[in-house]
Amino acid sequence: MDRSTEAQTVVFSRIPPTPPATPSPPVKRRRRTGLLVSLIVTLALVLAAGLYAVAPLRHPLPGPTIELALPATLTIPGKTPKLPWPKSGQGVIAVSGLGTLGAFGGEKPVPIASVTKVMTAYVILAEHPIGAGEQGETLTVSAEQAARYPAERARGESLVEVEAGEEITVRQALQAVLLPSANNMARILAAWDAGSVDAFVDKMNATAEELGMADTHYTDPSGLDPDTVSTAKDQVILATKAMALPAFAEIVKQKTATIPVAGEVKNYNELVGHNGVVGIKTGSTDEALGCLVFAAVVTVAGRKLTVVGAVLGQPGAQTPEQLDRVFSVTRTVLKSTTKTLAPHTLVEAGRDVATVHGPLGTGTTLRTAEKLEVIGWPGLKVKVEAQLPVVPSQIAAGTEHGQLSIQAGTGKATKTALRTSTDLVPPSIWQRIRHHQ
């Protein structure tokens, strides 16, 4: 027992004690977890940055806008012309399609003598229109109308001889009214058209109102009555309308005409056929003095323009002196008017007309391809109009895009194309991303 115990004891003393078990340190696992977290964070940041960068690309860019660089009107530069008007009377001169060039003497209604017959002829042609070269309807002079001729002649009226039963066409009757200024034929035409002279006068006044002749009042179709009054301004309105009628313009341009009974008659307007004058009507009485409504065709820079004017109240002891005076005034004013009319360049070639604003600071300008000029005079206002279509997001330099026009009065507009000065290109992706930052 003792030996075995001792031996056993010896055996046990040789076996070292087993140390307590301890877990291995998780170093490698912590590294892997940290790497994974870093990777996830990095991916999240990259994704967020990508989403941030791509966000502006998901929205469409706004289209280009246009800013006009020219005003709606331009004025021909220079000193407003002063025409050589007389000291007395009143007058207006205008250029058809452009407007009034000059005026003097105010707008007080005054007697206009046989200038009245312009309205008489205008109403007749409105009611009984005839074309160029046509004679129109035929009217017959009554015995009563013919019987008045001796008394009318005794009063010193301007007349043509007539006979009972005489047949005369509308054109021939108007020639008698507008060339030798026949008072009796004006009354014959009035009664034929309206049934009575008074009814015709009502038509004359109604027409004046329609045309905007606010300071005009007619009391007879011949102008012999001094209570028939108007202004130079109103008579230019009427003359412009009348000259647009081919038959009227044909007649007032004639120096002579042949009509029944009276034979050849002459035009009292001695300016016709000189300095471009193509009409229109003289007038003179003790109350009205010398009066003239005129039209002339002048050529400026190869373009024909119609000048229409009226000069009223020119002094003189009798009709010849009064008419000489008004003819002299008209010659001088018309000559000055012709010199005043000239071409003026208002927009040079290559002028910037509009700025195109693209997105993110991109853009270009639109410039005139050619110069624009207008015929007129210093001080005349000219309308400016730009036709600008929608600009695409990309357009090359030198591309025609839109046009610019200028127009004086109601005349023909002058136009030129517009061209881009530089390329217009959309902003790059990098520009869009940087702009978003």
Residue from 72, 74, 75, 95 nearest 83 by CA: 95
Cα 223 to chain centroid distance, Å, stands at: 35
**CA trace torsion 313, 318, 321, 322 (10° rounding):** 10
C-beta atoms surrounding 352 within 10 Å: 13
CATH code at 107-340 = 3.40.710.10
The mean pLDDT of 349-354, rounded to a whole number, is 94
d(CA 273, CA 320) in angstroms, rounded, equals 19
Higher pLDDT pick, 356 / 312:
312
Report pLDDT for 424. Answer: 85
Categorize the per-residue pLDDT at 34 as very low, low, confident or very high, splitting at 50, 70 and 90: low
Report pLDDT for 209. Answer: 98
d(CA 271, CA 269) in angstroms, rounded, equals 5
The mean pLDDT of 130-159, rounded to a whole number, is 96
Report pLDDT for 435. Answer: 56
Token readout for 298 is 């002048």
Residue 133 DSSP SS3: coil
d(CA 132, CA 267) in angstroms, rounded, equals 19
Categorize the per-residue pLDDT at 22 as very low, low, confident or very high, splitting at 50, 70 and 90: low
Report pLDDT for 391. Answer: 86
Higher pLDDT pick, 344 / 360:
344
Q: Which residues make up each annotated binding site? A: 281
The mean pLDDT of 97-121, rounded to a whole number, is 97
**Backbone Cα Rg of the chain:** 46
Categorize the per-residue pLDDT at 358 as very low, low, confident or very high, splitting at 50, 70 and 90: confident
Which tens digits make up the pLDDT trace of 173-190?
999 999 999 999 999 999
Higher pLDDT pick, 349 / 42:
349
Active-site residue list: 114, 117, 181
Report pLDDT for 101. Answer: 96
What fold, for 65-76+345-436?
Peptidoglycan synthesis regulatory factor (PBP3), Domain 2 (2.60.410)
Question: How much is the mean pLDDT over the chain?
Answer: 89
Residue 245 DSSP SS3: coil
Report pLDDT for 7. Answer: 35
Report pLDDT for 360. Answer: 66
Categorize the per-residue pLDDT at 13 as very low, low, confident or very high, splitting at 50, 70 and 90: very low
d(CA 231, CA 41) in angstroms, rounded, equals 93
Task: Give Cβ neighbours of residue 339 (< 8 Å, ≥ 6 apart).
Answer: none
Which tens digits make up the pLDDT trace of 188-245?
999 999 999 999 999 999 999 999 999 999 999 999 999 999 999 999 999 999 999 9
In this structure, what DSSP letter does residue 42 have?
Answer: H
> Cβ(100)–Cβ(167) under 8 Å?
no
Residue from 100, 111, 93 nearest 230 by CA: 111
Q: Which residues make up each annotated binding site for substrate? A: 281
53 backbone φψ class: left, alpha, beta (φ>0; ψ -120 to 50): alpha
Token readout for 305 is 């323009």
The mean pLDDT of 97-109, rounded to a whole number, is 96
Categorize the per-residue pLDDT at 66 as very low, low, confident or very high, splitting at 50, 70 and 90: confident
Report pLDDT for 19. Answer: 55
* Domain spans of the chain, in order of start: 65-76+345-436, 107-340
Sign of the torsion angle spanned by Cα atoms 372, 374, 377, 380: negative
Residue from 213, 217, 172 nearest 192 by CA: 172
> Cβ(238)–Cβ(118) under 8 Å?
yes
Predicted confidence (pLDDT) at residue 284 exceeds the cutoff of 60: yes
> Cβ(306)–Cβ(297) under 8 Å?
yes
